[in-house]
Amino acid sequence: MKSAEHATTEGLTASGDGRTRVAVARMLMEQGPVTAGEIAAALELSGPAVRRHLDALMADGEAEAREAAVRGRRGRGRPARSYLLTGSGRARFGHGYDDLAVAALRYLAEHGGPDAVEGFARSRARDLIGSAASAVGAGDGPGSRADLLAGALTERGYAAQAREAGSGEHKGVQLCQHHCPVAHVAAEFPALCEAETRAIAEVLGTHVQRLATIARGDSACTTHVPLGIPDTQREYETTTVPRGRQSAHDDRS
């Protein structure tokens, strides 16, 4: 049986151009927002070739451009632009059965109420994240465990990374999930994101703060894991930053 990713990209991969466009789209998913120059350097392509693929992705509604963040004074010339995938572009890498899942949760909410939806969300989070608890628990401290959890989530299709952020008492690790197979469903049922955040806190053994989610239109699901809290803490707390706060992941040129 063909994988969802293979099925959605086999038409494009019939040619070299198609393979390159898939590679560009994957980089937008895993590292976006990124500039055309960053894509060209990473994929060893010419600037015009990258822009041609980006233009094609945007024409198909699969990518969008933003003004790139710039540190310090801006030079002359046109502002640099960064690119990321849209919801349609993410579907290229597998959003199977979204409509069925939404319909099922609507039915559950109607006949079982909000508690039933929250119970399902908790069960799903345990299956997704709790199942990695034994492997993640081998890490020495929240930072190491976040790195192990990123690996486990990547194996489950979430293209996750853990990177250091902040300094001093604000030093921490940001767990960035660059793909979310259920983003479309979570946009209507945020209990899925909330349960996932709590499960992350539990498996890491510390409180965490969700900074951004793909379901709310951000480029990645970003969870801040502070490193200045004693590792013996077991009173897990989770907080969510209102939309508009950007993660350090997005604040780059």
pLDDT digits (tens, 9 = 90+) for 91-101: 777 655 678 88
pTM: 0.62
The pLDDT assigned to 230 comes to: 56
Q: Sorting pLDDT into bands at 50, 70 and 90, what band is 235?
A: very low
CA-wise closest residue to 35 among 1, 78, 76 = 78
Residue 4 has pLDDT above 70, yes or no: no
* pLDDT tens readout for residues 121-168: 999 999 988 888 888 888 888 889 999 999 999 988 898 999 988 777
Residue 224 has pLDDT above 80, yes or no: yes
Complete domains list, the chain, with CATH: 4-91 (1.10.10.10), 104-240 (3.30.1380)
